[in-house]
Amino acid sequence: MDEQEKQQIIKSCTRFLRYHYPQTPHQVLSTLAETTDAELEADHYGQGKLISSFENEIADMLGKEAAVFMPSGTMCQQIALRIWSERNRLPRVAFHPTCHLEIHEQFGYQRLHHLESVLVGTTDRMFILDDLKKVSEPISALLIELPQREIGGQLPTWDELNAMIEWAREKGIATHMDGARLWECQPFYNRSYAEIASLFDSVYVSFYKILNGIAGAILAGPADFIAEARVWQRRHGGNLVHLYPYVLSAKQGMATHLERMGEYHEKAKSVASVLSEFSRISVVPNPPQTNMMHVFLQGDPERLIEASLDVARETKTLLFSGLTPTLLLGYSKFELSVGDATLDLSNEEIRELFERIFDVS
Amino acid sequence: MDEQEKQQIIKSCTRFLRYHYPQTPHQVLSTLAETTDAELEADHYGQGKLISSFENEIADMLGKEAAVFMPSGTMCQQIALRIWSERNRLPRVAFHPTCHLEIHEQFGYQRLHHLESVLVGTTDRMFILDDLKKVSEPISALLIELPQREIGGQLPTWDELNAMIEWAREKGIATHMDGARLWECQPFYNRSYAEIASLFDSVYVSFYKILNGIAGAILAGPADFIAEARVWQRRHGGNLVHLYPYVLSAKQGMATHLERMGEYHEKAKSVASVLSEFSRISVVPNPPQTNMMHVFLQGDPERLIEASLDVARETKTLLFSGLTPTLLLGYSKFELSVGDATLDLSNEEIRELFERIFDVS
């Protein structure tokens, strides 16, 4: 099967195991146009009611003094770590080996901000207090990602999290939350976003991913910290003349999806339970702690993908269209985030479709 | 007059001396939704037909091998200068004292990229070859802004420009064009964009301003340079999951406004001629070299603004709503960029409205 045929099959699908239903720019822009007040004025270089009121809303929700909307989380987090490092007079920060800054940002934190990193723990699990105690040099800031995306959305328990925060506070180390998927761990902790965020000096949250916005992020924290972050945002080239398409879609995403996080999490657990019945499937973590999990499949990845696409062609239902290699011999995996599209597939149907795939691959 | 009253008057206006007619997000998004092909797929982290084909189109127009779309010019230009500096093994670059990097970017080029600057010439005019000859230390790159925005859109002559480029080339200094308003100097040089751009190793162009896009910029240059720029874009946090609202509006802006540059320039010259009849007005440069000029007004700025807003309230036509101080005693100024709204005001009407303002202030 060539790439073009593969893309045609994917495009023809109407139901999806993963995430939300895909939308074209035309659909997204039409909805935004329809739902935007005709009188609403554009933001202007970060100023104006639209963007300020949204920043305030998120700051309140996170229990922080202030917040700033930026084009990307990459920008938010490098800036946060730079500020905390300067305040603590030491350009060294600590995070997980699979942290976004370490594996997805082309080492911007080094090349732009001249920060050094300490990698805490191992790539297969969340770090805990014992891992932090092994850090043998001073650091200015500790970044904790909730949930840890690259390992299937794992979370520390509330007590484990508090123990780490206490360790950092005692040492005068600033704590920053990578909350790209903070929305998705609310059901696990069963605490308000403000209570979770209260453990951290600064918090970054994202508006695409589960919230389905076009793009965009917010950094929240103390008022003087956010004022400083705005200066860095300009330096990064992120203080755009207009950010309103992103802000409007972020607001819409919050209004549509935030209340469904519990539902997504419940569905994730029941889907994981169904998938675990297959001897050739392993789910990580099991049970899922958020709406996300990694699904490990035993077998030849090319044949599995081919089988999944054959099923997709016939049923217009897409389970997965790509698999990434793993260290585990004979296993490859895909990331499964439960969203609106997942909710519309019954667990019985999911079971049957995987049976068909394994029958022929 | 308080700020709220002022804003109400501005909002009630239907005709404008400056620029294009203002549009609300609702209007912009509605137009984008209507004109976007229902089948068009979103860009994804800088990939996809929409963004790639637009990048190629602009690269071709500028006669460059490759181009990359970024959220902002700030990002494009710091990145360009960083790359040229690394290639020339010296973190030092030269530009005009009113360069965007020097006065509008919170010294990102220093704080993020650790570049040193050499300021060439003086703040009141474009620099020329004689100014460059006074640079007494080695530099890696020379940035030339065409036109120089902060001094009313002044341009070097074609011969002056070529002489400077030749000086740089002989010394192995990379040349970068700040073409935020490149579109606007085409009538002055009466040469193709590719011919103007051919003088430079890299070129940045912008899609808001006269093109009226939502935001967004392109950096164009050699293929290996652009490949490197994409890595820096990710480091800056500018490689967004979706940039399509900006790309779509940039395409629309090109289609709508590019062919009108000659008309804007002609109108700018005739408006400058009308304004110059007033003893209390000085236009810089006169005649305008692009569609832009600075209009210096003699008199008390508060009274002039009040008079302009009184005229606006009565006629629904806004001439200016703010004035910035100048070094010239008794004079303040506003920037006048000629756009679609300007074209719809007759010069006779412009003369009459300024007469009314000067009558009462």
DSSP string, B185-227: GHHHHTS-HHHHHTT-SEEEEESSGGG--SS-EEEEE-HHHHH
Q: Tell me the backbone φ, ψ of residue A32, rounded to 5 degrees.
A: -60, -45
Residues of B in contact with A36 (CB under 8 A): 25-26, 29
Burial label for A172, CB within 10 Å (0-12, 13-18, 19+), is exposed
Q: Tell me the backbone φ, ψ of residue A69, rounded to 5 degrees.
A: -85, 130
Min Cα separation B359/chain A (Å): 34
| Residue from B344, B341, B332 nearest B294 by CA | B332
The answer on pLDDT for B327 being more than 90 is no
Measure the CA–CA gap between B161 and A348, rounded to whole angstroms.
72
Helix (H, G, I), strand (E, B), or coil: what is residue B10? helix
* pLDDT value, residue B263: 98
Measure the CA–CA gap between B218 and B75, rounded to whole angstroms.
10
In chain A, the percentage of residues whose pLDDT exceeds 70 is 100
Average pLDDT over residues A47-60: 98
Measure the CA–CA gap between A316 and A26, rounded to whole angstroms.
22
Beta strands in chain A (DSSP E): 15-16, 66-70, 92-95, 116-119, 141-145, 174-179, 202-206, 217-221, 281-284, 292-298, 317-318, 324-325, 331-337
Measure the CA–CA gap between B55 and A256, rounded to whole angstroms.
34
Q: Do B245 and A214 touch (CB under 8 A)?
A: yes
Helix (H, G, I), strand (E, B), or coil: what is residue B42? coil
ipTM (interface pTM) = 0.97
Q: Judge contact between B177 and B320, C-beta under 8 A.
A: no
| Two structure tokens written together for A91 | 């350009």
Q: Judge contact between B229 and B220, C-beta under 8 A.
A: no
Average pLDDT over residues A213-232: 98
What is the CB neighbour count within 10 angstroms for residue B151? 19
Residues written for chain A: 361
Element (H, E) at B174: strand B174-179
The answer on pLDDT for B197 being more than 90 is yes
| Residue from A298, A257, A262, A281 nearest A336 by CA | A281
Burial label for B73, CB within 10 Å (0-12, 13-18, 19+), is buried
Give the pLDDT confidence of B264-322 residue by residue, as tens digits: 999 999 999 999 999 999 999 999 999 999 999 999 999 999 999 999 999 999 999 99
Q: Judge contact between A117 and A101, C-beta under 8 A.
A: yes
Give the pLDDT confidence of A120-174 residue by residue, as tens digits: 999 999 999 999 999 999 999 999 999 999 999 999 999 999 999 999 999 999 9
Q: Which residue of B103, B242, B252 is the best one to mutate when testing the A interface, meaning the one whose CB has the most A CBs within 10 A?
A: B242
Residues of A in contact with B238 (CB under 8 A): 71-72, 75, 236-238
Residues of B in contact with A71 (CB under 8 A): 71, 237-238, 240
CA separation, residue B262 to residues B284, B288, B294, B316, B350 (Å)? 19, 12, 19, 27, 20
Residues written for chain B: 361
The answer on pLDDT for B120 being more than 90 is yes
Q: Do A113 and B112 touch (CB under 8 A)?
A: yes
* pLDDT value, residue B300: 96
Measure the CA–CA gap between A207 and A214, rounded to whole angstroms.
8
* pLDDT value, residue B220: 98
Burial label for B315, CB within 10 Å (0-12, 13-18, 19+), is middle
Measure the CA–CA gap between A78 and B238, rounded to whole angstroms.
12
Residues of A in contact with B85 (CB under 8 A): none
Average pLDDT over residues B15-41: 97
- Which is the CATH superfamily of the domain at A3-23+260-360? Aspartate Aminotransferase, domain 1 (3.90.1150.10)
Q: A28 falls in which pLDDT band (50, 70, 90)?
A: very high
- Nearest chain A residue to B77 by CA distance is A237
Q: Which residue of B11, B228, B244 is the best one to mutate when testing the A interface, meaning the one whose CB has the most A CBs within 10 A?
A: B244
Region for A236 from its dihedrals, namely left if φ exceeds 0, alpha if ψ lies in -120 to 50, beta otherwise? alpha
Task: Collect all residues with Cβ–Cβ distance below 8 Å to B65 and sequence separation of at least 6.
Answer: B59, B221, B222, B223, B226
Of A41, A50, A208, the CB nearest to B241: A208
What is the domain partition of chain A in residue ranges?
A: 3-23+260-360, 40-242
Measure the CA–CA gap between A28 and B29, rounded to whole angstroms.
10
What is the CB neighbour count within 10 angstroms for residue A166? 12
In chain B, the percentage of residues whose pLDDT exceeds 70 is 100
Average pLDDT over residues A32-58: 97
Q: Tell me the backbone φ, ψ of residue A164, rounded to 5 degrees.
A: -70, -40
| Two structure tokens written together for B332 | 């303040």
Give the pLDDT confidence of A77-122 residue by residue, as tens digits: 999 999 999 999 999 999 999 999 999 999 999 999 999 999 999 9
- Nearest chain B residue to A77 by CA distance is B237
* pLDDT value, residue A13: 98
The answer on pLDDT for A70 being more than 90 is yes
Q: Judge contact between B299 and B326, C-beta under 8 A.
A: no
The answer on pLDDT for B361 being more than 90 is no
* pLDDT value, residue A361: 87
Min Cα separation B306/chain A (Å): 24
Residue written as tokens 């001629």? Answer: B273
Output the DSSP codes for A203-222: EEEESSGGG--SS-EEEEE-
- Which amino acid makes up residue B185? C
The answer on pLDDT for A30 being more than 90 is yes
Q: B40 falls in which pLDDT band (50, 70, 90)?
A: very high
Task: Collect all residues with Cβ–Cβ distance below 8 Å to B46 and sequence separation of at least 6.
Answer: B68, B69, B230, B233, B239, B243
What is the CATH code of the structural domain delimited by B40-242? 3.40.640.10
Q: Judge contact between A105 and A140, C-beta under 8 A.
A: no
Q: Do B108 and A241 touch (CB under 8 A)?
A: no
Measure the CA–CA gap between A351 and B179, rounded to whole angstroms.
57
Task: Collect all residues with Cβ–Cβ distance below 8 Å to A361 and sequence separation of at least 6.
Answer: A299, A300, A303, A304, A306, A307
Average pLDDT over residues A263-275: 98
* pLDDT value, residue A328: 86
Min Cα separation B232/chain A (Å): 8
Q: B240 falls in which pLDDT band (50, 70, 90)?
A: very high
The answer on pLDDT for A337 being more than 90 is yes
Average pLDDT score, chain A: 97
Min Cα separation B22/chain A (Å): 10
